């Protein structure tokens, strides 16, 4: 209950409204990118900055949320963030050039970056400890619903109206959120605006350089061939150096650090962040590879590939409320272990795909992965954050959301790169056997030269045509094995973090005398 007696459910709706549109906006522009490119007369590489600019500015703000809330007051900062997000949404839709759109997307990312950590912190403070599972279920439903609804909503609005309306639809929701925040959100005493605090200028600058450079490296690395590109090499070095200096400044020199890294002294918090990083790494890496596999090797349309993914998201949404209610009275480690094991096993099942896999063979592992994430997300968040003092909750949720976002970005880049590299390795190994001395190759060539003329292909080119068909099959097989390897690596990584569950501490209300252990 807040200062004016608002119901916890009204508070939940208030903070989840802007959070939901911010999460949707992370992916809503993906399907509209070609329309944006054509409308603003830009190239494919240039138009990609519409996505990258938002992700970079968003990622920079997330870990600063706790400090900004302490400095300016959380309600004031939340209101400013929603207003900036709403105003920049209007400006994005009104842009007449790509440069304008990218600039306003940066502002939109700055406004949206704080919304997830602040809403998570407010939910954990508003709901009593026994109901933290339900609070995180509410947050998790929004977090998982956004990536599902974003592309669908973006595609429909773009086809029906215009790409500009994917930004305009944020305006009424943002204004409603500001109105509700003014009525129902109050700052606790320990988060009221502080005056006279010294600003951590070096920390802010180093954080911006580190996260910004890292996000660009992750986003552009595969396209630039990673460290063979001077651009990626320089940005990587800048990111690593900025990170090292940032840690030193925050731990030893900053009087009021923009990110309080001492939170990592809490073993449960540190372990939970590692598990969340790998879990999102696994989830987003696998759901990037799965539609690629379906389209490249099975010939699925984009719609069919989307139908493979969608039921998994529904499975997550259905599971979360039940898990949230369960962990209110029972040990959260139990569903967490089940979720992590199911995620690892489902990704391992994907590593067993073959060229003969049918629709159901692709669909069910994705559904299992969705159930696994439903069992994993809420107990992991509860175990990670419940031991954090309320005064440090904004800082902790900022760090947690940053590592979650980075886990997703790095997971996507790693999975795509690993698939490409392993496919190349398998292709080179398979090609080694295609020599004139190989009996199987000679037999295949003989059959092709005998069969193809009857299908209208002249004898003079029958041998080359047969070799071309054999080589295409080699590429298909190598590509299949590349997918198998990438899925297997994701599965092994997920299994390797299972021992960290022993380091997670149960919430205090569950370990007091008389409570179930």
491 contacts 348 by C-beta, under 8 angstroms: yes
Measured on CA atoms in the order 496, 500, 506, 508, is the torsion positive or negative?
negative
258 contacts 250 by C-beta, under 8 angstroms: yes
* The CA-based dihedral angle spanning residues 191, 192, 193, 196, taken in that order and rounded to the nearest 10 degrees: -80
Whether 85 has a pLDDT exceeding 80, the answer reads yes
Q: Distance (Å, rounded) from C-alpha 292 to C-alpha 45? A: 20
Output the pLDDT for position 3. 39
Whether 189 has a pLDDT exceeding 60, the answer reads yes
Structure-token match 């400044």, residue found: 249
162, with CB counted inside 10 A (0-12, 13-18, 19+), is middle
State the architecture of 1-194 in CATH terms.
Up-down Bundle (1.20)
Encode pLDDT of 240-290 as tens digits. 999 999 999 888 887 778 888 888 888 999 999 999 999 988 888 887 788
Output the pLDDT for position 509. 55
Output the pLDDT for position 486. 92
- Mean predicted lDDT score pLDDT of the chain: 81
Residue 133 CA: distances (Å) to CA of 117, 200, 500: 16, 34, 20
Output the pLDDT for position 344. 94
Mean pLDDT along residues 127-147: 74
For residue 300, what are its two tokens? 């699925």
Output the pLDDT for position 2. 46
Encode pLDDT of 97-132 as tens digits. 888 888 998 899 899 888 888 888 888 778 887 777
- Contacts of residue 368, defined as CB under 8 A and 6 or more positions apart, other chains included, come to 315, 342, 345, 346, 349
What percent of the chain is predicted at pLDDT more than 70?
83
CATH hierarchy code of domain 263-509: 1.20.1250.20
Output the pLDDT for position 151. 64
135-144, 379-388, 426-435, range with greatest mean pLDDT: 379-388
Q: Distance (Å, rounded) from C-alpha 27 to C-alpha 495? A: 29
Q: Distance (Å, rounded) from C-alpha 403 to C-alpha 280? A: 9
End-to-end CA distance of the chain: 28
* E strand or H helix at 363: helix 359-385
Separate counts of helices (H) and strands (E) for the chain = 20, 0
Output the pLDDT for position 5. 43
Closest by Cα among 513, 507, 281 to 378:
507
Q: Where are the alpha helices (DSSP H) in 62-199?
A: 65-72, 74-93, 98-113, 115-126, 132-160, 165-168, 170-184
The full DSSP string for 475-495 is HHHHHHHHHHHHHHHHHHHHH
Q: Burial code of 223-252, b = ≥16 C-beta within 10 A, e = fewer?
A: ebebeebeebeebbebbeebbebbeebbee
Give the SS3 label for residue 462.
Answer: helix
Q: Distance (Å, rounded) from C-alpha 54 to C-alpha 72? A: 23
Whether 44 has a pLDDT exceeding 60, the answer reads no
Task: Give Rg (Cα) of the chain.
Answer: 25
Encode pLDDT of 366-387 as tens digits. 899 989 988 998 889 888 888 8
In this structure, the chain runs to a length of: 517
Residue 103 CA: distances (Å) to CA of 165, 178, 255, 446: 18, 23, 33, 62
Mean pLDDT along residues 184-195: 70
Mean pLDDT along residues 468-481: 83
Least confident of 41-45, 104-108, 161-165, 187-191: 41-45
Output the pLDDT for position 459. 60
Q: Distance (Å, rounded) from C-alpha 423 to C-alpha 475? A: 8
Q: Distance (Å, rounded) from C-alpha 341 to C-alpha 256? A: 40
Whether 339 has a pLDDT exceeding 90, the answer reads yes
- The pTM (predicted TM-score) of the whole model is 0.78
Output the pLDDT for position 252. 86
* The CA-based dihedral angle spanning residues 349, 354, 360, 362, taken in that order and rounded to the nearest 10 degrees: 60
The full DSSP string for 289-323 is HHHHHHHHTS---HHHHHHHHHHHHHHHHHHHHHH
- Contacts of residue 189, defined as CB under 8 A and 6 or more positions apart, other chains included, come to none
């Amino acid at each position: 209950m807040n200062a004016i007696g608002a119901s916890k459910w009204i508070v939940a709706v208030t903070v989840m409204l802007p959070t939901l549109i911010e999460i949707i906006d992370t992916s809503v522009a993906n399907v509209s990118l070609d329309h944006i490119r054509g409308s603003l007369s830009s190239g494919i590489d240039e138009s990609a900055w519409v996505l990258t600019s938002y992700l970079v500015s968003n990622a920079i703000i997330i870990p600063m949320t706790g400090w900004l809330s302490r400095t300016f007051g959380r309600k004031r900062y939340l209101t400013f963030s929603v207003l900036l997000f709403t105003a920049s949404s209007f400006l994005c839709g009104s842009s007449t050039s790509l440069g304008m759109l990218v600039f306003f997307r940066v502002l939109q990312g700055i406004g949206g970056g704080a919304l997830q950590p602040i809403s998570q912190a407010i939910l954990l403070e508003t709901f009593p400890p026994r109901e933290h599972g339900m609070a995180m279920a509410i947050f998790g439903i929004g977090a998982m619903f956004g990536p599902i609804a974003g592309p669908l909503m973006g595609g429909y609005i773009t086809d029906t109206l215009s790409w500009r309306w994917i930004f305009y639809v944020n305006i009424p929701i943002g204004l409603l959120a500001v109105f509700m925040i003014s009525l129902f959100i109050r700052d606790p005493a320990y988060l009221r605006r502080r005056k006279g605090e010294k600003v951590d200028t070096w920390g802010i600058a180093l954080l911006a350089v580190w996260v910004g450079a890292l996000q660009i490296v992750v986003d552009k690395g595969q396209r630039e061939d990673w460290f063979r590109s001077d651009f990626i090499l320089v940005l990587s070095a800048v990111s690593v150096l900025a990170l090292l200096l940032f840690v030193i400044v925050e731990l030893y020199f900053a009087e009021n650090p923009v990110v309080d890294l001492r939170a990592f002294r809490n073993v449960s918090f540190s372990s939970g962040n590692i598990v969340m990083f790998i879990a999102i790494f696994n989830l987003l890496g696998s759901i990037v590879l799965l539609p690629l596999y379906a389209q490249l090797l099975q010939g699925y349309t984009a719609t069919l590939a989307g139908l493979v993914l969608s039921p998994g998201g529904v499975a997550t949404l259905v599971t979360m409320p039940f898990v949230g209610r369960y962990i209110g009275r029972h040990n959260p480690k139990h569903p967490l272990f089940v979720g992590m094991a199911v995620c690892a096993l489902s990704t391992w099942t994907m590593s067993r795909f073959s060229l003969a896999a049918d629709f159901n063979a692709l669909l069910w592992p994705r559904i299992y992965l969705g159930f696994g994430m439903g069992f994993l997300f809420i107990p992991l968040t509860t175990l990670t954050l419940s031991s954090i003092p309320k005064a440090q909750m904004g800082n902790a949720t900022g760090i947690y959301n940053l590592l979650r976002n980075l886990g997703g970005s790095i997971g996507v880049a790693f999975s795509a790169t690993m698939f490409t590299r392993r496919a190349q390795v398998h292709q080179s190994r398979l090609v080694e056997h295609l020599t004139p001395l190989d009996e199987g190759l000679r037999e295949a060539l003989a059959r092709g030269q005998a069969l193809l003329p009857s299908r209208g292909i002249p004898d003079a080119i029958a041998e080359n045509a047969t070799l071309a068909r054999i080589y295409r099959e080699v590429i298909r097989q190598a590509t299949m094995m590349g997918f198998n390897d990438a899925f297997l690596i994701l599965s092994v990584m997920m299994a390797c973090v299972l021992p960290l569950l022993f380091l997670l501490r149960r919430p205090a209300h569950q370990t007091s005398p008389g409570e179930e252990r």
